[in-house]
Amino acid sequence: MKSPTELTEAFRATGLKVTPQRQLLFRLMHGNTMHPTAEVLYSEASAQMPGISLRTVYQTLTDLASMGELRLIDVGAGAVRFDPNVDEHHHVICQGCGDVRDVYVAGSQALHIEGLDGFSVDSTSILFHGSCASCA
Amino acid sequence: MKSPTELTEAFRATGLKVTPQRQLLFRLMHGNTMHPTAEVLYSEASAQMPGISLRTVYQTLTDLASMGELRLIDVGAGAVRFDPNVDEHHHVICQGCGDVRDVYVAGSQALHIEGLDGFSVDSTSILFHGSCASCA
DNA sequence: TGCTAATTAGCAATTCATGCAAATTAGCAA
DNA sequence: TTGCTAATTTGCATGAATTGCTAATTAGCA
Ligand SMILES: [Mn+2]
Ligand SMILES: [Mn+2]
Ligand SMILES: [Zn+2]
Ligand SMILES: [Zn+2]
């Protein structure tokens, strides 16, 4: 994801307004490696801006996602998680505490896939299930 | 997943009753490669047994899953899908029609994972996103 | 400073799934 | 076969996550 300053320019350049709510979310997401849910971001945002609505958090996150600034990750645990890391990477989820961490996988493009009859593959998501150091 | 006959024995052996509803779902799921959702199974079941409840469909499917007879797959598209194929395999989903197909991936255990600090991996789910032959 | 289109907030609605309790029934024992 | 009882099924309420809708607000520009 771009920096808050770059996003500010990018938004204005597209005719989108730069509101305090959006700026706050730019800051909360930039460099965030926690893979937070909308609810988590809402509570973090509320601490700094009481009165911000959950609806706006969802709105802004999906806007950023459709601009390609965020990725949505579904780890099969209820709520979707938002990821400012748009590099090619994958995830491990701790089955104990739900913590999600980035992992980089070598050779995922070269996987030999059998049974793909007629299907063409655009992208690959790998989710490793396991335990973090604390939950082990 | 075991055959309906084997499941009948397995249920009775555990003190679980074999009801007509359960038998119908055993039949609907056995060898089913569609990765149906609970709603889909409910409508198929309703065609053969009007009055069966969606609640019972969910109940039976999760019972089968906790017995290890079914796998739950979350393809990030709303409802969970149920899979009687409990062999080590992965999935492709067509982004056009939502069709999910089984794929077998060679070498997934040997993937070189970077960034796993402290995490231990128990299992791996690979989801390929793409287009089926009809939607291409 | 004023205008206006974009945005926000709040609440309703939706979707998927689980909790609960009354009514029903499979499986067994007499 | 009959009756008992614990397991199961239903139907409905509830919950969690997300989106739809719209009146009120506001950023950005003239
Ligand atoms: Mn990530
Ligand atoms: Mn499968
Ligand atoms: Zn953990
Ligand atoms: Zn398709």
pLDDT in tens, A44-89: 999 999 999 999 999 999 999 999 999 999 998 899 999 999 999 9
Q: What was the pLDDT predicted at A89?
A: 96
Comparing CB atoms, the residue among A107, A116, A125 nearest residue B127 is: A125
Residue A10 in 3-state DSSP? helix
* Dihedral sign, Cα of residue A108, residue A110, residue A113, residue A116: positive
Give the whole-number percent of chain B exceeding pLDDT 70: 100
pTM to 2 decimals? 0.90
Please determine, for residue A26, whether its predicted confidence score (pLDDT) is greater than 90: yes
* CATH, domain A4-82, list 3.30.420.40, 2.40.10.10, 1.10.10.10, 1.20.1250.20: 1.10.10.10
Inter-chain contact B119–A107, Cβ cutoff 8 Å?
no
Residues of A in contact with B105 (CB under 8 A): 111-114
Please determine, for residue A109, whether its predicted confidence score (pLDDT) is greater than 80: no
Residues of each domain in chain B carrying CATH 1.10.10.10: 4-82
Task: Report, as an integer, the average pLDDT of B117-127.
Answer: 93
Q: What was the pLDDT predicted at B77?
A: 85
Residues of A in contact with B124 (CB under 8 A): 126-129
**Three-class HEC string of chain B:** CCCHHHHHHHHHHCCCCCCHHHHHHHHHHCCCCCCCEHHHHHHHHHHHCCCCCHHHHHHHHHHHHHCCCCEEECCCCCCCEEECCCCCCEEEEECCCCCEEEEEEECCCCCEEECCCCCEEEEEEEEEEEECCCCC
CA distance A33 to B25: 43
Nearest nucleotide (C1') to alpha carbon of B45: D9
Task: Give the residue among A130, A132, A61, A34 at the shortest CA–CA distance from B124.
Answer: A130
CA distance A99 to A132: 8
Residues of A in contact with B106 (CB under 8 A): 111-112, 114
Q: What was the pLDDT predicted at A93?
A: 96
Task: Report, as an integer, the average pLDDT of A6-15.
Answer: 94
Mean pLDDT of chain B: 95
| Amino acid, single-letter form, for residue A46 | S
Give the whole-number percent of chain A exceeding pLDDT 90: 89
CA distance B43 to A68: 38
Task: Report, as an integer, the average pLDDT of B35-52.
Answer: 97
Task: Report, as an integer, the average pLDDT of B75-79.
Answer: 90
Q: What was the pLDDT predicted at B109?
A: 77
Q: What was the pLDDT predicted at A73?
A: 96
Element (H, E) at A114: strand A112-114
Q: What was the pLDDT predicted at A117?
A: 86
- Centre of ligand 2 from the C-alpha of residue A35, in Å: 27
Burial of A4 (0-12, 13-18, 19+ CB in 10 A): middle
CA distance B71 to B131: 23
Q: How far is the CA of A120 from the C1' of D5 (A)?
A: 56
Inter-chain contact B126–A123, Cβ cutoff 8 Å?
no
Q: What was the pLDDT predicted at A108?
A: 79
Give me the residues paired with residue B94 across strands: B130
Q: Which ligand is nearest to the CA of A130?
A: 3
CATH homologous superfamily of B87-136: Ferric-uptake regulator, C-terminal dimerisarion domain (3.30.1490.190)
> Residue A80 CB: number of other CB atoms within 10 A?
18
Give the distance, in angstroms, between the CA of residue B74 and the centroid of all CA atoms in the same chain.
9
Residues of each domain in chain A carrying CATH 3.30.1490.190: 87-136
Q: What was the pLDDT predicted at B108?
A: 79
Q: Which residue has the tokens 């770059």?
A: A6
CA distance B21 to A135: 40
The reply to whether B57 Cβ lies less than 7 angstroms from strand C is no
- Centre of ligand 1 from the C-alpha of residue B51, in Å: 45
Residue A136's pLDDT band (boundaries 50, 70, 90)?
Answer: confident
